[in-house]
Structure formats: C-alpha cells, structure tokens
Amino acid sequence: MPAAADAQQQIRDWYSHLMSERRMSEATLINYHRDIMRFFEFLVDHLGGTASINDLAKLELRDFRAFISHRRRDGLQSRSIARTQSSVRSFFRYLDRAKIVSNAAVTALRSPKLPHALPKPLTEKEAKTLLNAASGARVSESPADDPQKEPAWIALRDAAVLTLLYGCGLRVSEALSLNRKAAPLGETLRIIGKGNKERIVPVLPAAREAVEKYLALCPHGLGPDDPLFVGVRGKRLDQRQIREVMIRLRLRLGLPEKASPHALRHSFATHLLAGGGDLRAIQELLGHASLSTTQMYTEVNTARLLEVYDMAQQKRGWVVAVSLNPAHTMRKENTGRIMLLEGLGVEGDAHMGVTVKHRSRVAADPSQPNLRQVHLIHAELLDELKEKGFTIVPGEMGENVTTRGIDLLALPTGTKLHIGANAVVKVTGLRNPCTQLDGLQPGLMKAVLDRDAEGNLIRKAGIMGVVVKSGEVRPNDTIRVVPPEGEAMPLKPV
C-alpha cells in the first residue's frame, strides 16, 4: 500500500467503517478503495515519498486540485472524477470525525459539472417483444440436436432473469444474487440491494411463471443455498453473461443500443409512472436511498405519478382532479385542493351541508339528510365519452372528485374511500343523471345511461357520498377502498 504505516492503519479503519457502519455495496467499496489508492499513489510522486497522517494535515487546496488534474490526464470523465472526489472527501471526513486529522481544504474542492443524463427505457412494446424472444431464442431440447442452438433451459433461464428486471425493477446484481430457496416465488420478494438495504417488492405472475419454467428444465440439482440462476457448469450466473444475452437479442430484434439489462429496470419505473405509479412507492420498489434519484423518471414521462400495484385488483385508485363551485350550476371549477368537512361536504361548495342542498331535493323536503355531499366520477367514463365524440373535462358534469383506477359503480353501499392523508368519504349511492347534461353537449344524458343484458337501467354518471372524516384532497392523492362489513348491497340512486 503506497502510504506510511499510520496512514495505512487509518485507511483500513475507514474501509471497515464503510463496510460495517455505512453498509456500502461491494461495488462502491471497491471503487472507493481504488480511488484512495490512486490518491496515495499520486502523493508518492507529488510529495516525494509515502504520505503520513501529518502530511495529510498539511495538504492544501492546490494539492487536491493537482490530484484531480492528474486523474483527468489519466482519462477519467466527469462522473468518475466526481466519484473520486467523493471517495477522498469521505476519507478525510472520517479522519476529522475520528479526531485524527482535520483538513478543510478538501471541502473547498469543487465538484465537476455532470451531464444531465436521463434514463433510457424501452417502450412497452419493445420490452414485451424482448421478453417473448428471450424464452424462444434459438433453443433445442438437446444440445446434440443442433450445437448452434442453446438448450431450452438456458433460454428459459435468461427469460426469467430479464422478466425479474422488468417485472420487479431489480438490478442485475440483485436478480443474480438470489438463491434457490427464494423459489417458488411468492406474492413478494425480499431483496438485499445496495448498501445491504432490504426492500420488499411485489412479484407479478409473469415473473413467477418464468422462474418456474426455468427450474422445471434446469438440469442441475440445486440446494436451498445454491444460486437460483446458474450457468452450464452449475455456478452462479455472471452479469457479463446477461449483458451478452441482451446484445444478442438487441441485434436479432433490431432494438436500439439503449436495450441493456439496466434499461429494463428503467423501463419498469417509467412504465409504472405512465400507468399511475406514485413516486415515493417507486422509490421504495427501486431501492433508491434518495427521492431525487427517482425523480429523474418524471422527466422521461410526465404522466400522472400515482400508486398502481393493487389497482389491478381495484382496491386502490387516485384523484385526477378536484372541483367546486359556490353557485348552483352544473359545471364545477377545477382547483388545486378541496377541503372535505366531516358531516358537511366540500368546503365552499354549493352542495355543502347537513341537510339536502340540491334544489330538486330541497323543493321536495328541505329537512332530508344530505346524502349527496360529495360527487365522484371515474375518469374512465370521460374516456368512454370521448370515444363517442363528446369532449368532457373533469368537473364539467358537476363532480367534486374525478378518480381513476377504481370501478366506482361496482362499489357496494357503505364503502369507505380513504382519500389522501386523512379524508374519508362513505359511499351512499349512485348519482341520478339529469337533463342538464344535454345543456353541456346534446345527447350527453343518453350517453351516460345504458342497459344491462336483462334490460335494467345502468346509471354511469358517478356516485355520491358523505364525509365521515375531514381532510384535504388534491390531484394525485391515492384512494384506498375499504368495503363495508356484512352483506354487500349494490348502489341505488340517491
């Protein structure tokens, strides 16, 4: 080691600190150690001998700058230079906190300006094409049949790995570090990621099936603690082999150069955002330590950022827009937030109150309880109307909350919708559409009505509810559905 004895001991202590206390990943540890070795190698020439602790205390800003210039001449790019500076700062910060040495000069070293690189995901079509091709790429049941083709189990192995990258958002290293006892995969998978940080990720049925197909043909007898994904000799699969698989598939399918194993992880995050994934949830699924790392995906796709995993089971959805109007008109104005008040409704809205506020209901009996405090419409209805030639925006049909991801009309009476951090709305019934809809666009009233196979009338203009817990509601808030206890009663007009 190119350092004086006292400095060598501090390097070892620092490295142990990074492993045990900072819990850095193996790759980061290797890079940090390499960077510090290069720093001390530079000091040998720069100072005329191996550097001691006293030498480190005497270093000036120009010495650190000379080291960075030296590394640039070695061919390092800005991102590697930034990591090198981070390694050196980490070492000196450790020395300072351990009261070994204090040198403020290193903190004055400016980091290089990094290029603003965005993730390069595949399109959904490209990702699906790639996964389909992986499982059927030049395979044969027996290698003797055609030595140019791979055994079927290898193709299925590759497909299983790639499916985990895209379907679960795993890093290649995380997928290949799995052991045999992880399979058969359950509903979730426990992953140890960077810095030995643990996270739980949902497992899609496609990923579960891909692993099962691979194991069914894998010729190696794998014990619980053996690698899940192995090569021809039964050893743990190497990342390089997966990169080579991607290169072959990319060339065969004519995919762009961005089609790398890590691009599948980028695709996982980007497609979740496009489908409504919440940024915080995606941060946890990816295992990012900082939300700022995850935020780069918002520049790739500007669609709504909302929770999606259990939307497929119609247990969660999200708020597309919120609206209110203090006047008794059909159309409500979109706003950045609404406040739901327990027992009353939407603060500032014409229909807020304990007793009925809709004019037709007031005319019949003004003492009736107000079961129509909050009006919700599913954005899927707006999509359906668009296909029929109507152009309707959120709030235009009088709703306070426009949702997506929940089949509102299928909810039973008494369902509780937990919206955002605090608000809770109890579903009371269906909205009964009125002829005022035709005032918006001719034929709209008929378009929100339908008949089932038995001729029963279907009202599609949303649902009504009462506020049972106050809270603020904003666009992009998640909606959690809690069914009522006891027998489920279908919604009726209120």
Please report, for the domain that includes residue 365, its CATH number. 2.40.33.20
In a domain, 160, yes or no: yes
Ranges of residues in the chain whose predicted pLDDT is under 50: 137-147, 299-314
Give me the pLDDT at residue 115, please.
59
* Coil, strand or helix at 301: coil
Give me the pLDDT at residue 347, please.
95
Q: How many residues does the chain have?
A: 494
Residue 284: its H or E element: helix 279-286
From the candidates 33, 89, 194, 331, which is the catalytic residue?
Answer: 194
From the candidates 199, 213, 265, 460, which is the catalytic residue?
Answer: 265
Is residue 27 a contact partner of residue 76, using CB atoms and an 8 Å limit? Answer: no
Is residue 210 a contact partner of residue 160, using CB atoms and an 8 Å limit? Answer: yes
Q: Which two tokens stand for residue 62?
A: 């120009």
Domain co-membership, 132 together with 274: yes
Domain co-membership, 350 together with 385: yes
- The whole domain housing 139 covers 124-300
What is the total count of domains within the chain? 3
Is residue 61 a contact partner of residue 13, using CB atoms and an 8 Å limit? Answer: no
Burial letters for 385-414: b for 16+ Cβ neighbours within 10 Å, e otherwise?
Answer: beeeebebebbbbbbbbbbbbbebbebebb
Q: How far apart are CA 342 and CA 358, in angstroms?
A: 18
Is residue 423 a contact partner of residue 340, using CB atoms and an 8 Å limit? Answer: yes
Peptide bond into 442 cis (omega under 30): no
Respond yes or no: is residue 418 known to be catalytic: no
Respond yes or no: is residue 15 known to be catalytic: no
From the candidates 171, 213, 351, 431, which is the catalytic residue?
Answer: 171
Residue that terminates a domain, selected from 277, 300, 323: 300
From the candidates 65, 89, 262, 480, which is the catalytic residue?
Answer: 262
In a domain, 114, yes or no: no
What is the CATH classification number for the domain harbouring 87?
1.10.150.130
Q: How far apart are CA 276 and CA 311, in angstroms?
A: 9
From the candidates 208, 213, 288, 358, which is the catalytic residue?
Answer: 288
Torsion, Cα of 276, 460, 340, 486 (10° steps): -90
Domain co-membership, 329 together with 428: yes
Respond yes or no: is residue 316 known to be catalytic: no
Alpha helices in 327-474 (DSSP H): 359-364, 379-387, 436-440, 444-447
Q: How far apart are CA 448 and CA 432, in angstroms?
A: 10
Beta strand residue intervals within 152-227, DSSP E: 188-192, 198-202
Q: Structure pTM?
A: 0.45
What is the CATH classification number for the domain harbouring 207?
1.10.443.10
In a domain, 118, yes or no: no
Domain co-membership, 421 together with 288: no
Domain co-membership, 207 together with 232: yes
**For residue 128, which amino acid is it?**
K
**For residue 33, which amino acid is it?**
H
Angle, helices 239-253/124-135, rounded to nearest 10 degrees: 110
In a domain, 444, yes or no: yes
Respond yes or no: is residue 58 known to be catalytic: no
Respond yes or no: is residue 83 known to be catalytic: no
Domain co-membership, 336 together with 252: no
Residue that terminates a domain, selected from 242, 268, 300: 300
In a domain, 492, yes or no: no
Q: How far apart are CA 461 and CA 459, in angstroms?
A: 6
Respond yes or no: is residue 38 known to be catalytic: no
